[in-house]
Amino acid sequence: QQQVKQSPQSLIVQKGGISIINCAYENTAFDYFPWYQQFPGKGPALLIAIRPDVSEKKEGRFTISFNKSAKQFSLHIMDSQPGDSATYFCAARNTGFQKLVFGTGTRLLVSP
């Protein structure tokens, strides 16, 4: 129930294309869903986050889509750039427990 399943494991997208990473969860008590971006040798950086009372949140080229009934959420990177090449982690948290549960990560490569 505490798992967050993430796919795909790796993704190659051409420059200018759309990168899509998907996550699914089981625990309906989760009420906060962040995405983190991690470059090699660095700690994860908070990219964008959503709460289940909205279906979509957009910040620049990054959009989270949230489907509460399906218990799924996804990250869309529009106009993907080589500088977006990194590992992306979705996560979920039950605010009452304050602990983040992380997905397994997606390694994104944006080819020039």
Partner 1 sequence: SAVISQKPSRDICQRGTSLTIQCQVDSQVTMMFWYRQQPGQSLTLIATANQGSEATYESGFVIDKFPISRPNLTFSTLTVSNMSPEDSSIYLCSVAQGANEQFFGPGTRLTVL
Is 1 a binding residue for partner 1 by CB under 8 A? The answer is no
Would you count residue 68 as binding partner 1 (CB under 8 A)? no
- Angstrom distance (rounded) from CA 6 to CA 102: 9
Contact pick of 46, 56, 58, 78 for partner 1 (by CB under 8 A): 46
Q: What is the DSSP string of 48-98?
A: EEE-TT-SEEEETTEEEEEETTTTEEEEEESS--GGG-EEEEEEEEETTTT
Decide: is 95 part of the binding site for partner 1 (CB under 8 A).
yes
Q: Which residues in the 11-40 window bind partner 1 by CB under 8 A?
A: 32, 34, 36
Q: Does 109 bind partner 1 (CB under 8 A)?
A: no
CA distance 52 to 73: 10
Residue with tokens 């949230």: 66
Shortest distance, CB of residue 16 to partner 1, whole angstroms?
28
Task: Kindly list the residues in this chain that would bind partner 1 in the complex (CB under 8 A).
Answer: 32, 34, 36, 41-46, 49, 51, 89, 93, 95, 98-100, 102-105
